[in-house]
Structures are given as C-alpha cells and as structure tokens.
Copies of this chain bind each other. A is one copy, B any other.
Amino acid sequence: MKLTIDRDVFLENLNIVSRGLPSKTSMPSLYGIKMDVTSQNMFLTTSNMDISIEVMIEDKSLNIEEPGKCLINGKFFIDIIRKVNSKKVILQLLDDNQLYIKVDRGEYKLRVMNYEDYPSIDFVTLENPLSLETSLIKSIIRETGFATAKSEKRPIFTGVNFKLVNNELTCVGTDSYRLAQKKINLNDSYNDFNIVIPSKSLDELLKIIDNNDETINVYFESNKVLFKYNNVMFQTRLIDGQFPDTQRVIPTSYLATLKFNKDDLVQAIERVSIVSPHDTEKNRELTYSTVKLNISKNQNIEISTSNSQVGDAKEEVIANEIDAAEEFQIGFNSEYMLDALRSFTDYEIIIELSGNVKPFVVKGTNTTNLLQIILPVNL
C-alpha cells in the first residue's frame, strides 16, 4: 500500500470516520481505522458496534501507487494528520508492519494492528432508498432527540421512533415525562415502516451532515438502518421492541390557550429556575424544584418558584393573547419546558393546557408539524 493524498481532504474524511471510533470497548481492534486501498479509491471504516461508518475517498489529489490494506490506531493517526501543516500526506505500508507517514519535514512510523482481527461489518444493501433532504433529517434530530430518555432503564425510550404510514412520517422522542413529535408528509411513496433509532447514533449523524442542502438516502433492514450521504455511509443498529402508541397522549381539548413571545418566556423561566435546584430524572417529583405558571384571565402571567432553602422567585410575562375558561396553576420541570421552547424557531409560541394534571402542549405559531408535550408536576 502506497499513496499520496491532499492533507485537508484526508483530514476531513478522517474526522467523519472518527465519529465511529469507540471511546471504550472490549474489542481492541475497534480502536483502529480500517483502510482499504484499491487501484482507484481509498475506503476508511470505523465501528463501535452501535454505529459503523465508511467513507470512500476518490479525490483528484489521491494518487495510488500501490493498493493495499491495513488497520491503524485511529487516535494517534488522526492526531498526527490534524497537527500537520503540510499540503500532502504520503502513506506507505512497510514490510515490518509499520505504516510510514511522510509530511513535510516529518516522518512517522506507526505500528499497524492486525487487519484480520477487525470484525466484519455488514452494511445494508444499497437498494430501494428513501430519499430525504439533509435539512429535514437535521431538524427531526434537533427537535425530537432531546426528549428521549438518558437512562437505559427502558431502552425503547432511548431512541427516536420513525414511523411511516401512508407516506406520512411521524417521528417521536419521549422519556415518558415529555414527548416531542414531528410529522412530515413525504412526496414520494414508500413502504410503511416503524423503527426506533438510538438517539446517540442520531447525534453522531447530526455532527457528520454539513449545512449544504443535499439529499440523504436511507436504507432499511430488520435490525439496522443506513444513511448514505455524499461519499459517507453511516449505519446504526435499531432498538428492539415495540414503541408505545403515543397518539393517545396528545390532548384534544383545552381549558386555556396562551400565546407568548418565545424569548420573553424563555428568559423569565431561566431566571426563576435559578432559585429552584436543577431537576434530574431522579428528583423531578420533588415539587419544590418545579416552576409554576399562574393561568389567569389577565394578560400578566406570573411564573414563580419557591425553594425552602434558597428563597422565592417571581417573574411577570405579558401574554400576547390569552383564552382561558378558568383560572388555575400548573407546575412543570423548568428544564423540560426550556428544551421544548428552544426547539422552535418561531418568534411566538402557543401553550395549550387541559388542566393542572394533564399533559400540555407547546406549539409554534408558524410551525405546523411540530408538537412538544409535557406532563405537569403535581403542585
């Protein structure tokens, strides 16, 4: 194996596959980047067994003198290429199991790992793709991923449910205390599916997709899904099990509807929640740590919290519109509320409430396909 490649092109591709390297694994070969060089292209592969990434480099700067293959420790290799200023990188696999790297005035020889130890990665067959815009995938991940559970107690809740029925795609993330739902009508018709993708995998995918508005092709198999984007194949395992039917959680009638300037509401909640200790999933039932919203027929809405150890906080936010059948108080986890509000790009948001123990809905005035639902905390 011997080749020359532009350093910037190489680093860009290494940065992509670096997302697939495990932080910790019992299978040491996974710390390696698998390099396969054919007479035309170079393939880089990484996997942490949850996600697997393969890039194909066919850049005009790539000059392959001799095809070959090797497995090289990802961390050290990427660190070297990252620190190098040189325009070109020369790579050569030496007879004594070392990878020779020549850059400007620097020469590196890294011990290679045993190529045969690397597990075989079966990528999904590239047939029958569902094509989506990258901007759509990115917004789905940003708007629903945060609502999934961080704890592995109920694994099904650590992923985002993607469900296609009659060309309507519904994406849901929930940790059972809050729920984010985005619906999209697809133009092209495609076979129905109902899968749960690990939220951690989606976060890594988000880091790889750049801001160019391009197409991403999605390929399915029973237990995995593959996203193909430019020269990158990003595959993740799916989460086993039945995702609960969440449609029944969504309220259908309301006691009160409030319209706020989003930033005013975010800032007021941020301030009052300083006084309330930050909630964790564990202590969220402690009512002292929740923020209260006072629904009245008056446009001056009071947001408050009280903490016996610290003190009391109260902010007034002026609602842009208010339609309340009765006056009541509702308590919520301020982090959940802030996450929900921040998922909207809208200037104005709507809160629809069905009473102080029923889930309430947060919507954007201009966003029609996204719902955030939060279960209140008993006061």
Q: Does A325 contact B (CB under 8 A)?
A: no
Contact with B along A59-94 (1 / 0, CB 8 A): 000000000000001001001100111000000000
A111 in contact with B274 (CB, 8 Å):
no
| Chain B neighbourhood of A267, CB < 8 A | 83, 85
A314's partner among B107, B270, B309, B311 (CB-CB below 8 A) is: B107
| Chain B neighbourhood of A317, CB < 8 A | 105
A274 in contact with B107 (CB, 8 Å):
no
Contact with B along A272-301 (1 / 0, CB 8 A): 101100000000000000000000000000
B110 in contact with A80 (CB, 8 Å):
no
Whole-angstrom CA separation of A107 from B306 in the bound complex: 12
CB closest chain-B residue, reference A312 = B109
Whole-angstrom CA separation of A268 from B85 in the bound complex: 10
Whole-angstrom CA separation of A316 from B106 in the bound complex: 6
Q: Does A98 contact B (CB under 8 A)?
A: yes
Rounded to whole Å, the gap between the CB of A95 and the closest CB of chain B is 15
A111 in contact with B311 (CB, 8 Å):
yes
Q: Does A324 contact B (CB under 8 A)?
A: no
Q: Does A108 contact B (CB under 8 A)?
A: yes
| Chain B neighbourhood of A8, CB < 8 A | none
Rounded to whole Å, the gap between the CB of A110 and the closest CB of chain B is 4
Whole-angstrom CA separation of A271 from B83 in the bound complex: 6
Whole-angstrom CA separation of A315 from B85 in the bound complex: 13
| Chain B neighbourhood of A98, CB < 8 A | 311-312
A274's partner among B83, B109, B315 (CB-CB below 8 A) is: B83
Rounded to whole Å, the gap between the CB of A7 and the closest CB of chain B is 13
A108's partner among B80, B84, B270, B314 (CB-CB below 8 A) is: B314
Q: Does A130 contact B (CB under 8 A)?
A: no
Rounded to whole Å, the gap between the CB of A309 and the closest CB of chain B is 7
CB closest chain-B residue, reference A84 = B271
Rounded to whole Å, the gap between the CB of A106 and the closest CB of chain B is 4
Rounded to whole Å, the gap between the CB of A92 and the closest CB of chain B is 13
Whole-angstrom CA separation of A312 from B311 in the bound complex: 60
Q: Does A1 contact B (CB under 8 A)?
A: no
Q: Does A319 contact B (CB under 8 A)?
A: no
Whole-angstrom CA separation of A271 from B314 in the bound complex: 55
| Chain B neighbourhood of A108, CB < 8 A | 275, 311-314
Whole-angstrom CA separation of A312 from B83 in the bound complex: 16
A311's partner among B83, B105, B109, B310 (CB-CB below 8 A) is: B109
A76 in contact with B271 (CB, 8 Å):
no
Rounded to whole Å, the gap between the CB of A318 and the closest CB of chain B is 8
Residues of A within 8 A of B (CB): 73, 76, 79-80, 83-85, 98-99, 105-111, 267-268, 270-272, 274-275, 309-317
Write 28 A-B pairs (CB below 8 A) sorted by A numbering: A73-B310, A76-B274, A76-B310, A76-B311, A80-B274, A83-B267, A83-B274, A98-B311, A98-B312, A99-B311, A105-B268, A105-B315, A105-B316, A106-B271, A106-B272, A106-B313, A106-B314, A106-B315, A106-B316, A107-B313, A107-B314, A107-B315, A108-B275, A108-B311, A110-B310, A110-B311, A111-B309, A111-B310
